[in-house]
Amino acid sequence: MSEIVFLKPTGRLDALGARGLWEELEPLTQMPQRRVLVDMSQARYLSSEGLRVLVRASKGIKQGGGKFVVCCLSARLIEIVTMAGIDRVLEIYPTERAARQALETHAAL
């Protein structure tokens, strides 16, 4: 199983910010068995484009037999994700430690 890839986007994940995140995530969706952790603690805003990038990456990584998790969302970002119904699609953890544990469990399977 691969090492954990850790990403920590900052600022606004609007059309411009989401594009930069996708540039980092897209190659990972093409590799089998990737384990990806996205720490959202430094993200201030999440637009529909940012949500789309997270869902698209999650789907691609899962299709390759990997695991994609998100952690450390602020109360405002949790509200956005929940209103969009994306909380049912993404694996979201309150802390980086909990997210890493989920990824480690996946590696053991």
Domain spans of the chain? 4-108
d(CA 2, CA 15): 30
What is the CATH topology of the domain spanning 4-108? Answer: Transcription Regulator spoIIAA (3.30.750)
Residue 62 has pLDDT above 70, yes or no: yes
Overall average pLDDT of the 31-39 stretch: 95
pLDDT at site 106: 79
**Alpha carbons within 13 A on the beta-carbon side of 17:** 18
Q: What percent of the chain has pLDDT over 70?
A: 95
* Helix, strand, coil distribution of the chain in percent, nearest 5: 50, 20, 25
Overall average pLDDT of the 41-47 stretch: 96
**What is this structure's pTM?**
0.94
Residue 3 has pLDDT above 60, yes or no: yes
pLDDT at site 85: 95
